[in-house]
Amino acid sequence: MKYVLAIISIMLGAIAQYFLKQGVKNLSTENGNAVLKVLFDSNLWIGICCYGLSMIFWLYVLSKLELSRAYPMVSLGYVFTLFLGYYFLNEPITLFKIVGVGLIILGVLFLSGS
């Protein structure tokens, strides 16, 4: 259960990044209303809420796992954001990204299994 909650927490963090990206997509810093736009953008608030939920799950995970086993799993967020970017933002997946993701997953397996 603790590993499932860790994955949920990490996925929520990746989803938060997607919504933050959507929220600042059309934000212009040239305009003085940029701060007001940020305060009232629903995508940004969804992203902030996802981070809040992610933190709640993560606190539980930290209470059940050694820090040296739990924290490397956070790097799986890179894997999730790669796929979110591909599916929802039309970002390309290159060979270098695939190799990088493979290395991240291998690293997580080594660190959390040791």
For each of the chain's 114 residues, which pLDDT tens digit applies? 899 999 999 999 999 999 999 988 867 666 567 667 777 889 999 999 999 999 999 999 999 999 988 999 999 999 999 999 999 999 999 999 999 999 999 998 888 776
pLDDT value, residue 106: 94
pLDDT value, residue 58: 97
- 46 neighbors 17 (Cβ within 8 angstroms): no
61, 65, 73, 80, 96 from 68: Cα distances, Å = 12, 8, 10, 21, 27
pLDDT value, residue 32: 62
pTM for the full predicted model: 0.85
Range of the domain at 60: 2-113
> For 25, which DSSP code?
T
The tally of domains found in the chain comes to: 1
